[in-house]
Amino acid sequence: MKKIISIIIILIIGLIIFFQTNKPNQEVISISDEIYLIIDDKIFLEDNPVIIEDNTIFISFDVIKENIDPYIFYDINEKILIFTNDEKVIRYKLDENYATINHREFYLDKKFKILNDKIYIPKEILMNFYPIEILYFEDTKAVIIEENFSNYIQGQIIEEGGNLRVNFDKKSPIVLKDIPLESEVIIFEEYMDWYKIRTYNGIIGYIEKKYLKINHRTKQNGISKNFKEEYKSNNEKINLTWDYTYGKMKNIDNIEYIDGLNILSPTWFSIIDREGNIFDKGNPDYVEEYQALGYKIWPLIDNGFDPDLTHELLVSSQMREKLIKDIALIYNKYKVDGINIDFENINIEDKDLLTQFVRELYPIFKEMDMIVSMDISPISTSENWSLCYDRYELSKTVDYLMLMAYDQHWASSPVAGSVAQYIWVEESIIKVLEEVPKEKLILGIPFYTRLWKYENREKGEELSSYALSMEKANEFIERYNIQLEWDEESNQYYGEVKIEDTIYKIWLEDKDSIKFKTTLVNKYDLAGIASWRRGFETEDIWPVLSNTIRLN
């Protein structure tokens, strides 16, 4: 019945278009003056199936329930929207800024709403839960919901004069006249000498077969199908901290149990020359004592952040082989549980070599039953600090990628600002998730802040900054009685003070800002959290991390 209604609607619209606007060389004929919705080859026009407000697309709850997920649930009395599948349950409450995933809280920036007694869900919520894409085309006013990894048959226009019609009949009205050559379309059904198709921007109709070539490939969006099938995610969230070591670790007097933490990454190893020699700061007692407390140890190895040195190490296959052997020997000697690769400041031309190095290292460490993790930066235009990582390929050959979501405003930044404001961190996650699966991504957060100084000098104002631990930042604030105000954009406390001719500004990292950022692990169902660095935190931070990403 619904199919008949859809055909009737298309027929009526087509007839109107045919008699009113059937002109030569016409490219697009609008199906409707109002925004309409398309799922596969179905058109939804009635009862406002989709609305756009403040540049946000909202889809009707009824449409989702009937066509995508019969198990979506809405509690009309308590006004709670609930999504469920085999792994998680997510609850959204009307007009609240928080939602929960498996009873763990995360912050919302897009909320569902009720208009004219109908529930509308923003596309961000839908795309976060379902493997779908939601696209809007202004020229046709079509909103398209499309499954990722769908088995749509692709086609291409190969002959001029092909018209898209309401039905599989040369006499039926034209919906779209003279589709341009090489246009890509999706094919749904075959009727004798006709195909039912959809254009990329949401026009549905019938075209004669002679105008179309089947590409014999399926549409594949996203990345999930290309990752190792044998990879199994662990339900326990990772809570790692980097344990910075200045020099050779001679004693282990600070060994202590930290509730909620399950992995330590001591910064023990650095490659120091072009022969691949490694500076070793490790201590076997550290490993033994912490493992006895139940922790895993993934020591960090870095490249000295030297791009020329790194090039020399990566460009030679023999050097890569030697380096991997030496690294494996050291890690095996300490009987640790994994490795954290922290290679930064790399020439962009060495991007593929870096990936190859990790590919070669990975099976060696898996044979030793060790986890391989690697640090990556947020996506930006910086060649040496961001574009040098092939995140998509790296994610296929490591167990975890650590997103170092800090230094939004770095030490020599031309403007003052937060080290890692909430919005920037979330945007960084969203971009990286386009290339890396969520079960392999760990969010790195800062335990430090920057104190910014504006000094009036003879040549003008000069800006500088230096990093402070949480404790040192609190001491500065107390010493100068700085009045803090909550900054909604960064989700941090902000303060400033003038001392003689110098203005000091600070965006504080504390338990409140850390909690906001940590909830993003729950919101995007990431593998866990990593913190830089141990010793910079105040005592109240560890319970915040633990309670936010796990159930006690």
List for the chain the helix, strand, coil content (%; round to 5). 30, 30, 40
d(CA 395, CA 165): 45
Domain membership flag for residue 364: yes
Supply the pLDDT for residue 86. 82
Supply the pLDDT for residue 42. 92
Q: Which two tokens stand for residue 52?
A: 């756009």
The string of DSSP codes covering 334-392 is HT-SEEEEE--S--GGGHHHHHHHHHHHHHHHHHTT-EEEEEEPPP-S-IIIIIT--HH
Are residue 211 and residue 246 in the same domain, yes or no? no
Query: At which residue do the structure tokens 């995140």 appear?
Result: 391
Closest CA to 241 of 539, 549, 536, 551: 536
In contact, 482 and 506? CB cutoff 8 Å: yes
Query: At which residue do the structure tokens 């976060």 appear?
Result: 128
Are residue 122 and residue 57 in the same domain, yes or no? yes
Q: Which two tokens stand for residue 407?
A: 């230094």
Domain membership flag for residue 484: no
User: 214 — phi, psi (to 5°)?
Assistant: -80, 135
Supply the pLDDT for residue 21. 40
Domain membership flag for residue 461: no
Are residue 381 and residue 264 in the same domain, yes or no? yes
Q: What is the pLDDT of residues 117-135, one digit of tens each?
A: 999 999 999 999 999 999 9
Among 173, 188, 218, give the residue marking a domain's end.
Answer: 218
Q: What is the mean pLDDT of each run of 10 residues along the chain (552 residues)?
A: 49 43 41 86 93 96 96 94 92 94 93 96 96 94 87 89 92 91 92 93 94 71 34 71 93 89 98 97 97 97 98 95 96 98 98 94 94 98 98 96 97 96 97 98 98 82 94 98 95 96 96 98 97 97 94 50
Are residue 148 and residue 232 in the same domain, yes or no? no
Are residue 211 and residue 233 in the same domain, yes or no? no
Are residue 13 and residue 95 in the same domain, yes or no? yes
d(CA 417, CA 451): 9
Domain membership flag for residue 60: yes
Q: Which two tokens stand for residue 348?
A: 């962009």
Domain membership flag for residue 431: yes
Among 218, 234, 268, give the residue marking a domain's end.
Answer: 218
- Report the CATH number at residue 294: 3.20.20.80
Among 201, 218, 235, give the residue marking a domain's end.
Answer: 218
Name beta bridge partners: 206: 165, 196
List, in order, residues 6 or more apart from 23 with CB less than 8 Å away.
Answer: 177
Domain membership flag for residue 276: yes
One-letter amino acid at 494 equals Y
Region at 180 (left for phi over 0; alpha for psi -120 to 50; beta for the rest): beta
Closest CA to 282 of 265, 262, 303: 265
Domain membership flag for residue 170: yes
Query: At which residue do the structure tokens 């199906």 appear?
Result: 31
d(CA 355, CA 435): 14
In contact, 403 and 471? CB cutoff 8 Å: no
Q: Which two tokens stand for residue 93?
A: 């409450």
Q: Is the peptide bond before 533 cis (omega within 30 degrees of 0)?
A: yes
Supply the pLDDT for residue 253. 82
Check residue 283 and report its DSSP letter: -
**Helix crossing, 307-315 with 317-334: angle to 10°?**
100
Domain membership flag for residue 501: no
Check residue 315 and report its DSSP letter: H
Check residue 7 and report its DSSP letter: H
d(CA 304, CA 398): 21
Are residue 243 and residue 214 in the same domain, yes or no? no
Are residue 258 and residue 351 in the same domain, yes or no? yes
Q: Which two tokens stand for residue 160?
A: 């001029």
Are residue 171 and residue 49 in the same domain, yes or no? yes
Q: What is the domain range of residue 197?
A: 2-218
Are residue 307 and residue 401 in the same domain, yes or no? yes
The string of DSSP codes covering 23-79 is -TT-----S-SS-EEEETTEEE-TT--EEEETTEEEEEHHHHHHHT-TT-EEETTTT
Number of domains the chain contains: 2
Are residue 150 and residue 264 in the same domain, yes or no? no
Are residue 288 and residue 203 in the same domain, yes or no? no
d(CA 417, CA 406): 12
d(CA 77, CA 92): 14
One-letter amino acid at 492 equals Q
C-alpha dihedral, 221 to 382 to 530 to 396, nearest 10°: 40
